[in-house]
Structure formats: structure tokens, C-alpha cells
Amino acid sequence: MSNPASSHVDLAVQGRIAAAKRKAEEKRRRRAQLAERRGYGLAARHAAKMRRWGEEGDTC
């Protein structure tokens, strides 16, 4: 072997590590996006609830 660091096994392992890192980063990014959307959704639900409470208070 000319260079033991570049054997096909090492290259395959490096490829798997890189794929795992990409997958983990994508998962982190997706979770961050969902958390952001969840925050907007909760704010919208709260605002709607406050509007309904305001409307109920006007009719009594």
C-alpha cells in the first residue's frame, strides 16, 4: 500500500461520517424551522383567543 490513510475502508468510513454530519445538520435546521413556525402559530392562536375573549366581554 502506498498510503494507508487512503484505503478504500478509510474512504468509506469518511464518507459515512460526512453523510452523518450532513444528516445531523439537516435535522437541526429542520427542527429550528419548525420551532420558529410553532412560535408564530402559538402567537397567532393567543391573539385569536384574546380577540374572542374581547368579543365575549362586549356581549355580556
What is the mean predicted confidence (pLDDT) over 36-55? 92
CB 38 within 8 A of CB 32: no
Q: What percent of the chain has pLDDT over 70?
A: 87
Residues recorded for the chain: 60
pLDDT in tens, 17-43: 999 999 999 999 999 999 999 999 999
What is the mean predicted confidence (pLDDT) over 1-29? 89
The pairs formed by 45-51 with CB atoms below 8 angstroms and a separation of 24 or more are: none
pLDDT at 5 over 80: no
Contact residues for 4 (Cβ-Cβ < 8 A; gap 6+): 10
Q: What percent of the chain has pLDDT over 90?
A: 77
DSSP state for residue 4 in the 8-state scheme: G
Report the pLDDT value the prediction gives residue 1, as an integer from 0 to 100: 44
